[in-house]
Amino acid sequence: MIMRRFSEALKQQNWTAIAIEFVLLVLGVFLGIQVANWNEARETRRKSLVFTERLKADLRAEDRTYQFLVAYNREVLANANRAVEALEGNASISEEALLVSAYRATQYRVRAQRSSTYDELVSTGNIGLIRDHALRDTAIRFFNMTAFDDLVREGMQSRYREAFRMTLPNEVQRALGKHCGDRIPPPRPGVYNTISGNLDYPCRTGLPAQTLAQSAQALRANPDILKFLRARIADLETRIFDLTRNNRSIMESLRAIATEPQ
């Protein structure tokens, strides 16, 4: 409509009308661009809020997982220390207790990472939608840290784990796993009173005394068990130090996100 009137005024050389129509045309284009920009900015703000809340929810869950895995691996380390003390002759424990601690020293846990929101933001180039710089920095540093991957890899590839599995009869290992293995509660973000005692708890294997004695003797007779167990302890101590000291700022940032009012 404006363009038609503008064309007609131009033909008639009606300069006043031309000026008015030109102003209206420019104003219409300007307002159209502004409305589009306002709509785009509003949609960007909406996406920013949605992704921010999703990322916070993921990091709150990751905080609990972080605390759980530190507690779990400390229990693995405690059992490894008990087993090595007994095998070195520095502590007197029952044969069953030795087998339980030696078994638990082989354990590791795989982390179920909640990185879908972060991965989506990075893959689409939208990480800038997270306007909270502390939140964004925590996510980037946390999801790129390798300490948990190193912990799992060393647990899976542990030569002590392999030597232990090769030394004891399978029925003994099954009994240990059934009666003294992991007791992992369902993951519940925000619930921290269940992160401890999932491996280091009182148990009985139900194995006959003779089987316990023979299995304990087999461990003591294997020259690889003790040296590989010492290496396992060193690896665990290194990774726990890495998680709690070298990456302490990440751990504290996760705690701050998890404990802020929702």
Residue pLDDT, tens place only, 1-38? 544 554 554 455 555 655 565 565 566 666 566 655 66
Give the pLDDT of residue 33.
Answer: 67
pLDDT higher than 80, residue 165: yes
Using alpha carbons only, give the angle 75, 161, 215 rounded to the nearest 5 degrees: 90
Q: Which amino acid is at 55?
A: L
User: CB under 8 Å to 75, separation ≥6 — which residues?
Assistant: 104, 196, 197, 198, 199, 200
Task: Give 215: exposed, middle or buried? Use CB within 10 Å, 0-12, 13-18, 19+.
Answer: buried
For residue 253, name the pLDDT band (cuts at 50, 70, 90): very high
131 vs 186: which has the higher pLDDT: 131
Instruction: Give 90-120 pLDDT, tens digit per residue.
Output: 989 999 999 999 999 999 999 888 999 999 9
- How confident is the model over 209-231, as pLDDT tens digits? 999 999 999 999 999 999 999 99
Average pLDDT over residues 142-157: 95
Does residue 88 contact residue 254 with C-beta atoms inside 8 Å?
no
Q: Which of 23-32, 79-88, 120-129, 233-242 has the lowest mean pLDDT?
A: 23-32
Q: Report yes or no: 179 and 203 within 8 Å, Cβ to Cβ.
A: yes
Question: At how many degrees (to 10) do helices 15-87 and 95-104 cross?
Answer: 160
| Dihedral-angle region of residue 43 (phi above 0 means left; psi in -120 to 50 means alpha; beta otherwise) | alpha
For all residues of the chain together, what is the average pLDDT? Answer: 89
Among the listed ranges 31-35, 160-164, 243-247, which one has the minimum average pLDDT value?
31-35
Residue 137 CA: distances (Å) to CA of 59, 134, 142, 172, 203: 12, 5, 8, 48, 43
Mean pLDDT of all residues in 119-137: 95
Domain coordinates of the chain in residue numbers?
A: 2-259
For residue 128, CA distances in Å to 23, 132, 156 come to 38, 9, 37
Per-residue confidence band for 88, with pLDDT thresholds at 50, 70 and 90: very high
